[in-house]
Amino acid sequence: MKYKHILFVMLALVFSAFTTKPPKKSKLQLKVERLAAEVEPKVIAWRHHLHEHPELSNREYKTAEYIAAHLQSLGLEVQTGVAKTGVVAILKGGKPGPVVALRADIDALPVPERVELPWASKAIGEYNGAEVPVMHACGHDTHTAILMGTAEVLTRVKAELRGTVKFIFQPAEEGAPKGEEGGAKLMVKEGVLKNPDVEAIFGLHISAGTHVGNINYRPGGAMASANSFEITIHGKQSHGSLPWGGIDPIVTAAQIINNAQTIVSRSLPLTKEAAVVSFGAIHGGVRNNIIPEEVKMVGTIRALDEEMRQEIFRRLETIVTKTAESNGATADLVINEGYPITYNDVALTNKMLPTLQDVMGAGHVRLTPAITGAEDFSFFQREVPGFYFFLGGTPLDTPEKEAAPHHTPDFYVDDAGMVYGVKVMSRLVVDYMAMK
């Protein structure tokens, strides 16, 4: 009898696990999801307009006007000209509570569009002095439209909100033009997270390699830091037939490139996190029979751990200077500031994960590895706890692995994914406020 009782209890527990219903949604949670579905046609129309009229970093003048007009129509407190072309709006809820920020990036890229769409971009812009085609080749048009939709949804439940929402439409995520400041770093510098003081911030990125209806996330380091570097090697020019009469910066450059490969493979604990050191360009010389006086190289450093990042900086400095010295040359290394690690606050991520699962369905919220791409959302996360995740944009009839990558002429994401973005962003605000 004893064993029969134990068996009965075990069967009851198993049955309970399969029949337990998720917590019932509150009236406000149901309302914002219903409103998100209602505004979906508007969100799609906004996305099409923004996609057809893209603008480059720090040049998002028309985009900012378009966003501001919508926010003003909602009766929000709107500030323009933030970090040059950014737009910020404040929504004060009907009840006291925390200040929650939502962010969308608004700039496009110098990429020609190859996708055949009625709303394809034919825009031309100027990038570093050159005339270039312009395209929303990273999906910032969808981010902007989603946040415009979220602003409308939350405004319509204003009286029921327990706190304040700050909508941040950020320019220049892809990097300001040479000689200019911009992006999240400048927004933080200008005090965008102050007055009122933001307690937590949420952001999303559409993913061309993730099916519509899914979300990918990762607590902790989710995206890598990114630092560009420049190396200038100073040698002594000589005839190519008499190399002993000079100091060869090209040979020195080759040795620096080879030696730098040992930084990741031999100096970093790769079981801890990933890291990358890549050289992207090398320039030196004009003729086959002249050893030049100087060689310039540029590259990128990516890391998912701050200590490893600093070790890369130290090792690269040593390799560059000592390798040059061993050849009788000298070399200058400049490591530019770049973006910090996109670090999802672990406590905040764990707290908000049930919201994602409730909106999308638990099976559609996937824990994924970190990636070595970078995001300047990280500047906000250095100041306040933040959570950044990836929203599916691949059409269901396209295999995820066959989707064209971001930053390419064939990049495309489906309109069907955007309503999920509005639902999730709206619910993150409502649910976070309810926990306070």
CA 309 to chain centre: 19
Tell me whether domains 27-223+341-435 and 225-335 share a fold.
no
CATH 3.20.20.140 fits 225-335, yes or no: no
* Res. 128 pLDDT band, cuts 50 70 90: confident
CATH 3.40.50.300 fits 27-223+341-435, yes or no: no
Q: Which two three-digit tokens encode residue 336? A: 């530019």
In the chain, domain spans: 27-223+341-435, 225-335
Percent of the chain predicted with pLDDT > 90: 94
pLDDT over 70 (residue 36): yes
pLDDT given for residue 14 in this prediction: 47
Which of 88, 102, 110, 83 is CA-nearest to residue 172? 83
Q: What is the mean pLDDT of residues 344-369?
A: 98
pLDDT given for residue 228 in this prediction: 97
pLDDT given for residue 436 in this prediction: 86
CA 359 to chain centre: 22
* Residues designated catalytic: 107, 173
pLDDT over 80 (residue 2): no
pLDDT given for residue 16 in this prediction: 45
pLDDT over 80 (residue 20): no
Query: Which tens digit of pLDDT belongs to each residue from 242-292?
Result: 999 999 999 999 999 999 999 999 999 999 999 999 999 999 999 999 999
Mean pLDDT across the chain? 95
pLDDT over 60 (residue 7): no
Percent of the chain predicted with pLDDT > 70: 95
Query: Which tens digit of pLDDT belongs to each residue from 190-203?
Result: 999 999 999 999 99
